[in-house]
Structure 1
Amino acid sequence: MTDNDDEDTQMSADSIDFFIHVGHQPPRLVEARDDDLLEAVLWREGVALDADVHMIVGADDEEEGVDAEPLAPGLTVGGAGLKRHGHLHCQRCRRIQVSVNYQSRTEQETFSPTAPIRRVRRWAQKIFGLTGPAAGDFVLQLCGSDVDAGLQQRLAEFVRDHTCSACFDFSKEVTPQG
């Protein structure tokens, strides 16, 4: 066994893998040690931080009503509370203003950028009074398009051009007949 084999074994034994979300890009899986500084991990991964970028840890399956706060600089991976397959969001927006259109009505609410789309959909179902099995037939689509927002996707993936806002149409899902 070489010294490099020892280092590889050591890194794997003491490291965790987690997802980094930057803007509206797809998340990337990275590996880091528990005692690595978050800023160093992000730099290694080519993520540029500045005073306008907030680091926010999001749970894999955020509870209704949970809004994570931005992290203070200088934290380690472990100190930030990141766990295996956790999510670290690097966002310019602390909150995202969401508009949802349904029939002739538009409703707005603010959410954390880490909020999963399923949370926004639950809010829309409630605010528009859609209940029962039929409520599950509705999807959020980007305004003016036929692009469905996946329930597992994070709200920040739908923010463009530093607007800190997102717009969706609440539409009945089209299912092929066959």
Structure 2
Amino acid sequence: MSAVFSANLAKQLLEFTPKVIGFPLAKVPFSLKAKVISQLLRVLLAPQTHLDELNFLEDKWVAICVEDLQLAFEVSFDGQWQVRPLTDAQVTFSANSAELILVAAAKEDPDSLFFQRKLSIQGDTELGLEVKNLLLSIEFATMPAPIRLSVAKLAAAIERLQIEAKPTSILAKLASF
């Protein structure tokens, strides 16, 4: 019975933690969120910026929707990062926070998530593929240490919870013997 309890607790943590985080996040003014997002993009994509690999984003807007956090915004790049509320993006990426963290930590492949319907890409397919390839070009090992360590710890916790959330199927198999 403890395995069932543990599995249920893990499922609840995976489901309710984003809601708990999303509530105060919703109270933060968009201007502050936009500033943090643009600074984060500037740091994470600095090598691509210096190599002029972001030109394809000029005059294009990419929407990011973190569904379980109720966080949605659009980004563009014209020599500097621009962030705005959702209006009229050419392509939209939507997923829950756990999947996005696993992708950022290089623990999950965006294509796999797409085919499992855990990542949605809508709009301009060509732009979406360019953005996906850009994100895949970010070397996890070269991220600044505070970001890399935080993402790695979150990804490890998510993976443990996902494993813990599955013992009910193992118990069902054992019960059938």
Say whether the fold is shared (TM-score over 0.5): no
Structure 1 or 2: larger helix share?
A: 2
Structure number with greater CO (CA < 8 Å, separation at least 6) is 2
